[in-house]
A and B are shown apart, each in its own frame.
Chain A
Amino acid sequence: MAEEVKLLKTWSSPFGLRAFWILKLKGVQFDFIDEDLSNKSPLLLQSNPVYKKVPVLIHNGKPISESLVILEYVDETWKQNPLLPEDPYERARARFWAKFGEDKVLVSIWNAFIKQGKEQEEAIGLAIETLKFLEEELKGKRFFGGEKIGLADLALGWLANLIGVFEEVIGVKLIEKERFPLLSAWMQEFAEAPVIKESWPPHEKLVTKFRAIREPYVAAAAQPK
């Protein structure tokens, strides 16, 4: 049977981008569909009935959902250019940082993005505290994965691109080079890596999209209490 690999994603979703990256990095032949989330395809609804979200990877008709689960599935199924090291301890560390990125970094940055006034100040403070852990982890390393891009790099990679978008929309710098020299260097190196650099969604389109997402929060905060 010919291998059939299909990726359901959207043009902008950073989660979908992770799956896109790993398939490209591994040289896997695949098709992708950019979904319109206001009008989800029957295939999406059928393939991810629990969450009805992207990304979904469909491999020979079998669906896999949740981007970090997809990353590990792809790494285990196509063994070339492995994303995770062999050593169990190093694997645990890579998974730890991928999870930290999801549970803490993403959440704290998002709060800094949507909150207003005093709450935003606090959220920015918290985001910076969170980012300091990443800065610390990069000591002596080129990537979170060491000499080459690994699982944690793909999990955190959205930072390299979306941080600039968020900063532009809110008018606040979150990752300053002086405070985060290693993280800044990593963001640049990751953003320009082969495969990665060709994949970024158009910047202006992202700015427009996220500005629109932020609007209701700005409006709500401007309401007299």
Chain B
Amino acid sequence: MAKSDVKVLGAWPSPFVMRARIALKIKSVEYEYLEENLGSKSELLLKSNPVHKKIPVLIHNDKPVCESLIIVEYVDEAWSSSGPSIIPSDPYDRAVARFWAAYVDEKLFPALKSIGSGDGAEAKKAAIEQLIEGLVLLEDAFVKCSKGKPFFGGSQIGFLDIAFGCYLGWVRVTEKMNEVKLLDEVKTPGLFKWAERFCADAAVKDVMPETDKLAEFAKVLAKLRASGKWN
């Protein structure tokens, strides 16, 4: 299969794009990566994702797949005979993984974003508390899902590792820029160690942006937002 049969439209700071790229790496799929300029979206992006006009988009033999977690499940199914399984094999374990993946997107990420959003000290404190509460829940989920193994998915990274782990770059940037500890060795010891393992994993380390680069980007983004030039 030629490399150009698989394309990913993405942006390097996006945790959602990371999800798609990690999945493809796990399955050893060669692909062409196209960096989008989000201030000026490409024709291909607008054509491939007319509904949301967002990245990531996976284009496989000219057929587009959108929405990061849907892409991960697609990659797992389309290349099922290549590499380890990403989604758990047991339906109940799958349901648990999907539940927490949805939780991370609906509760954790918005809380993370609002820590840095500059809505005042009270709002920031509340957002931090909310995030840490969420992480404590995930710590418990980690213990149950991993069953003593290194990852949510067991001995290898799986669906929930990818869904949650993609946010670690932004967690670190938020910790640095707001001088707050979010992933705590004491409160969430399992997750603390898991985070290090995740970031060092072969499928992850080449697509995880460096914290410093991401922090620079976050500053630029904050300025653009403040000036009303970015929504």
Contacts and interface: CB of A to CB of B under 8 A. Distances in A.
Given A69-B99, A88-B77, A95 B67 contact: yes
Contacts of A77: 91
B103 A73 contact: no
A73 B78 CA distance: 20
Nearest to A130: B51
Interface stretch (A30-38, A59-67, A212-220): A59-67
Nearest to B49: A96
B73 A76 contact: no
A68 B99 CA distance: 9
Nearest to B92: A62
Contact of B74 (A62, A68, A70, A89): A89
B91 A92 contact: no
Contacts of B67: 95-96, 99
Contact of B51 (A69, A76, A92, A133): A133
A69 B105 CA distance: 14
A26 interface: no
Contacts of B73: 91-92, 95
A96 B51 CA distance: 10
Please report whether the interface of chain B is mostly helix, strand, loop or mixed according to DSSP.
Answer: helix
Interface string A93-106: 00110011000000
Nearest to B71: A92
A66 B94 CA distance: 13
A73 B95 contact: yes
Interface string A119-141: 00000000000000100000000
Contacts of B25: none
B44 interface: no
B78 A50 contact: no
A73 B91 contact: yes
Interface string A70-98: 10110011000000000011011001100
Contacts of B77: 88, 91
Given A50-B103, A69-B98, A133-B51, A76 B91 contact: yes
B55 interface: no
B42 to A, nearest CB: 20
Interface stretch (B2-10, B58-66, B158-166, B210-218): B58-66
Nearest to B63: A89
Contact of A73 (B60, B94, B102): B94
Contacts of A88: 74, 77-78
Of the candidates B65, B73, B99, the one having the most CB atoms from chain A within 10 angstroms of its own CB is: B99
A72 B103 contact: no
B46 interface: no
Given A62-B92, A64-B99, A65-B99, A95 B63 contact: no
B109 to A, nearest CB: 14
Given A50-B103, A89-B65, A96-B66, A64 B95 contact: yes
Contacts of B95: 64, 69-70, 72-73
A64 B71 CA distance: 23
B90 to A, nearest CB: 9
A95 B71 CA distance: 10
B19 to A, nearest CB: 14
Contacts of A69: 95, 98-99, 102
Contacts of B71: 92
A69 B88 CA distance: 14
21 contacts: A50-B103, A64-B95, A64-B99, A66-B98, A68-B102, A69-B95, A72-B95, A72-B98, A73-B91, A76-B91, A77-B91, A88-B74, A89-B65, A89-B74, A91-B73, A92-B73, A95-B67, A95-B70, A96-B67, A100-B51, A133-B51
Interface of B: 51, 60, 63, 65-67, 70-71, 73-74, 77-78, 91-92, 94-95, 98-99, 102-103, 137
